[in-house]
Amino acid sequence: MSQSDYSYSSLPKEISLKIASSLEAPALSSLACCSRDWQEICVSDCLWKSLLKERWPLLCGADKDPNFKDWRGFYVKQHEEQKRQAEYVINLVEQRSLFGSLNAVDYLHAISCLERMQFGFRDVQMLMLKPKLNVLLNLIGLHYCLKNLQVPAFHITEALWSGKIADRQVCVKWRPTYNFRIRGGDQSRCVYLKDLVKGEDDGEVLTVLERGATYELSRVQVSDPFSGSGDEHELITII
């Protein structure tokens, strides 16, 4: 049998559905572009209803019309709304850090926005844990999933690796209030995102960021040590 004979048409429909049901939404959409046969299977309501239920379980409640069709269209519409809301947070962080710093109020406000928008883990994974975004946004998404959603660490670690950002590093520098006037009183810690999730820093970095909005710390900075400049870019400065 030649390679061309191995096509969707040679597979039983239940096998094709089984293959498609193992894919996430982006991969499913890509598979649909391969051929008309795969497009037909990949737009099946049963696949998109399952994806929607996994990502937004409350939207598949008992009040939903049992005869409802076009689950793919419903999923896409909901995704676009989440994407729009994520862009608000992304723009907020990028605009407030134009000069390399982000104060505590803005950092914690970004996290509270995700909570108010009722972002789930899948939303953060798809929209915040992306390599094209700066490490500040990755950190905010990680922080939200770990502390607010209390997602198991191994799930977040998998998301970091699949998003190719696990080896991104942040450096945190802070000064306790009692050392405010002491020269050289700063403390610092550099840690990879993957190690933040595993608690390799004993939870110090995220604790410092949370406490930085109080009077216990006079200053906190988080930077990307590989920003390619002698200056500290991608900073969170908490005063």
40 and 107 within one domain = no
Domain count, the chain: 2
| Lookup: tokens for 22 | 């193992």
CA distance 235 to 222: 5
Phi–psi pair at 188, nearest 5 degrees: -145, 160
Which residues form the domain of 89? 84-221
- Same domain for 89 and 17: no
Do 89 and 206 share a structural domain? yes
**pLDDT digit string (tens) for 149-188?**
999 999 999 999 999 999 998 877 777 665 545 555 677 7
Is 79 a domain residue? no
The verdict on residue 226 lying in a domain is: no
Per residue in 97-139, pLDDT (tens digit) is 776 667 777 888 999 999 999 999 999 999 999 999 988 899 9
From 73, 93, 112, the end of a domain falls on: 73
Q: Are residues 20 and 126 in the same domain?
A: no
Q: Are residues 58 and 118 in the same domain?
A: no
pLDDT level of residue 203 (50, 70, 90 thresholds): confident
Residue 202, CA distances (Å) to 25, 196, 230, 237 in order: 35, 8, 29, 22
Residues 90-103 have a mean pLDDT of 81
Q: Are 172 and 221 in contact (CB under 8 A)?
A: yes
Question: What is the pLDDT at residue 135?
Answer: 87
> Of 53-57, 137-141, 158-162, 234-238, which gets the smallest average pLDDT?
234-238
What CA–CA distance (Å, rounded) separates 157 from 125? 11
Burial class (CB in 10 A: 0-12, 13-18, 19+), 228: exposed
In angstroms, the CA 140 to CA 93 distance is: 10
Same domain, yes or no: 67 and 92: no
pLDDT digits (tens, 9 = 90+) for 1-23: 444 444 555 678 889 899 999 99
